[in-house]
Chains A and B, each alone.
Chain A
Amino acid sequence: MSDFLIILTGALVASACGILGCFLILRRMALVGDAISHAVLPGIVIAFLISGSRDSFIMLLGASAVGLLTVYLIQMFENSGVQSDASIGVVFTALFSVGVVLVSLYTRQIDLDLDCVLYGEINYVPWNTITLGGVDIGPKAIWTVGIALFLIVLFIGLFYKQFKICSFDPAMAAACGIPVALFHYLLMSLVSVTTVASFESVGAILVVGMLIVPAATAYLLTDRLSAMIGISVGVGVLSAVLGYYAAYALDASIAGCMVSVAGVLFLAALLGSPKHGVLLRNARRRRYLREANAAEGRAV
């Protein structure tokens, strides 16, 4: 049963991240998830200092607030002329540093184990359950990530066309009268909430990996956005399932194995993709060369 719950959680994270990852990659914002997972530290610490409790709902709230702030700051600096990658780097390092300083200022005596609070471990998912009205309704991670996934499917489903145009051609979207900034922030809010909701239960590395790697794999396999989203989710879920059994066989970190499997699948697509793969492209190139040489030989 706990096997199933862990795999289900991994698959939910993979699906939520897989959908969002496609848009992030197309908009060249792949590293936003990584930035958010570092930058939310001060939010968690402040929420902890204000509430004085380690209730994860309050921490989730603090983290999400700072996640949105991160996204907003990145956009603000970008608008004032800083390159987007540098803007991401400046913001997340600064916020993370604020968090570390706050931790060493206020929480030296208090027991706030960052490894525990900030970076979850997917192993513990089945045991960390929530009770509603005295009834145990299942693992918390499944509920939080499930809700995040529901929101993603809802919003992306409702505004699919708008998101699509905004990702490929923001100028045209603006010309069509689509509020580009609104959709940007909507997407970023979804990323922020998903990142925070998932890494709190399964660890940051799994979230960052699942946001980027399956979507990149899908990007190599298709030229259609809808297909890309489908493949991305499929690759993510496959990585979660295979990764779990690999971890079981190797007796190693589950999240690490899931990301590693995603990496192997990416490598397979990079080399073997029918249209964009390295192997077939090189073979095609050799054949053209041979044909060209042969044609030249005939001409001479």
Chain B
Amino acid sequence: MEALFNAFKDPNTQWVLLGCMLLGLSSGVLGTFTYLRKESLMGDALAHAALPGVCIAFMLTGVKSIFLFLIGAAAAGLLATFGIGYITRNSRIKQDTALGIILSVFFGFGIVLLTQIQHSAGGNQSGLDKFLFGQAASMIMDDVIVMSVISVLVMGSCALLFKEFKLLSFDPGFARGMGFPVPFLEQLLMLLIVVIVVAGIQAVGVVLMVAMLITPAVSARYWTEKLGVMVILSGVFGALSGLLGTLISTTANNLPTGPLSVLSATALFIVSLLIAPRRGLLAKVWVRYSVKKQVKAESAQTRLERRLGES
């Protein structure tokens, strides 16, 4: 316990903790809408699609600057969302296939660019691909400031546009009928996801980012039928995962923070799956059991009455 306390005196740990919690919070909130819109794997596609953007940013400028990389990644991410939207709107290809096409083709093209850079520029390109795999433990104050700004942006937009996003998640056709600017809202939601994914992959890596957008939202869905509650719960689950991940990684042998946060989120998901009221597995088993008992009792009752009637 004391070791735990001491670990938190370390300013670096505090930054990592704060950064991971903010990231978990805002991606949990955003994840709710993507889950309901059946776009959970959008984060996965965007995270992979960022690679060519990073490569092109490097090829154009020749400098390794995080800021330029982020711009390149965001531009590629936006292009990817446009591509996915274009394919699903203009052909009979379904969304998951469109996601997969964009994911693999962008990433494949990114690898082509990466090998081009390696073959032409010599030694100074190293670390370009590592950009995508992030290191939560190396988070510094600047990263946390960026993360705070993004969190405020994400949560502010979700709070202001809650009603619009709600309608967008459940019935976009109705939203269009009501005269809401649906394409604009959809693209805004995508922009927020691009921003959070790009900020997240640099800090914690692709896979953590994907998990943070999906797992807390799925867990939250088990506990409630109301969107507002679900958004808050999902954010809390996300932040809690970041907290647990950092805690475990500082106390236990310096394990990587990102994967531990994912596993914390998964643990929360399994708990929700089991014990959530009404939708959880145990609740379902209990309902089945009590219905069975009731049916048995009723049939015994009718048998008894029939026999009494006969006699």
Contact = CB atoms under 8 A, between A and B. Distances in A.
Interface in A69-125: 77, 80-83, 85-90, 93-94, 96-98, 100-101, 104-105
B103 A208 contact: yes
A5 interface: no
Contacts of A98: 259, 263
Interface in A33-54: 33-34, 38
A263 B210 contact: no
Contact of B115 (A87, A97, A253): A253
A81 B112 contact: no
Top 7 nearest A-B pairs (CB, nearest first) are A259-B108, A263-B105, A256-B111, A93-B211, A97-B259, A209-B104, A89-B214
Interface stretch (A140-148, A159-167, A213-221, A226-234): A213-221
Given A266-B105, A270-B90, A100 B256 contact: yes
B35 interface: yes
Contacts, number: 185
Nearest to A212: B100
Given A81-B279, A94-B211, A101-B263, A255 B108 contact: yes
B238 interface: no
Q: Which of B35, B90, B108, B207 has the most CB of A within 10 A?
A: B108
Interface in A245-259: 247, 250-253, 255-259
Interface stretch (A23-31, A128-136, A180-188, A291-299): A23-31
Interface residues of A, number: 56
A94 B266 contact: yes
Contact of A86 (B97, B108, B119, B217): B217
Nearest to B39: A85
A281 B89 CA distance: 13
Interface in B216-231: 217-218, 221
Contacts of B119: 251-252
B232 interface: no
